[in-house]
Amino acid sequence: MVNAMTLSNSALLFAGQGAQFVGMAADLAAAFPVCSALFDRASQVLGWNLGALCFKGPEADLTRSDRCQPAVFVAGLAAFKALEARAPGLNWAAAAGLSLGEWAALHAAGVLSFDDTLRVLEARGRFMQQACEERPGGMLCVIGLSGEKLVEVCGRTGVEAANYNSGEQTVLSGERDRIADAGRVALELGAKRAITLNVAGAYHSSLMSSAAARLEEYLGGVAFQAPKIPVLSNVTGGPHGDDPAGIRRLMVRQVTSSVRWVECVGWLRGRGVTRYVECGPGRVLSGLVKRMDPESAVLNVQDIASLDKTAAAVSAG
């Protein structure tokens, strides 16, 4: 058994939308009853077979926001539960996640129940898809451009900063024609790359305002609790407080606000975190953290192979 104090310098991370793939968490569900039970319960709550979608697809359905968001949440939670089963007694300094991953972090910290988190994410995905259809937009990943020049790109083209992913990578959101303009301007100003992302809309921008309004109304009937460990807010870059109403307000704002991932990681580093464990499909957050904190230990759990490696590492202290 792992000493509960051995992970007091470790942060728990949860992946966001876009990390999904057909087959995610299938081997974890087959190997761990606690994981298969999560998928069974999710299917009962949602009224459709979430396990079949995650394990077998089709990919087109898995990419739908109202399907993808609960699916990535459950896959990430299955990875977390598998790690707990393999290395019991873990003690986390904090939890964080990117966009929908923040909801998984809140659940892991005891803020929302499993059932409520599932329902919120299905509704959130549906509201975001509606907003995409009402106000079509896109997103642009800009690599290698200073903050001052990014401000210039936004000012000249009318786009907004959506994700501060690392010192080298920022994602912009806006109307589709403005995204094209932003790509040209970013390259003119010296960006190494400007990549138009294959997404349904302009997430984490003012174009999502209708989704935020619908989510605010929906969350009025959802019970929130104070977190048992610090959970980093995408909106502020610092930890949520203990006031459930304050957490609810920030999670509404998160839909239209920039994701301050650089500040989240900075807060964790400043509090002595030296090890990060990403739970869920892909290794996007692991890669971002490693760029910002090269000396840290970065681990992940998304399948049996990565579980074996991570469980051995945390058990070693």
How far, in Å, CA of 115 to CA of 103, rounded? 12
How far, in Å, CA of 104 to CA of 197, rounded? 24
Please tell me what DSSP assigns to residue 193.
Answer: E
Residue 18 φ then ψ, to 5°: 110, -20
Which residue, 281, 234, 250, is CA-closest to 242?
A: 250
Identity of the residue numbered 49: N
Contact between residue 296 and residue 275 where contact means Cβ atoms under 8 Å apart: yes
Note the Cα 114 to chain centre separation in Å. Answer: 16
Planar angle of CA 24, 29, 32, nearest 5 degrees = 140
Residue 220, helix vs strand vs coil: coil
Contact between residue 285 and residue 15 where contact means Cβ atoms under 8 Å apart: yes
Catalytic annotation, residues: 99, 204
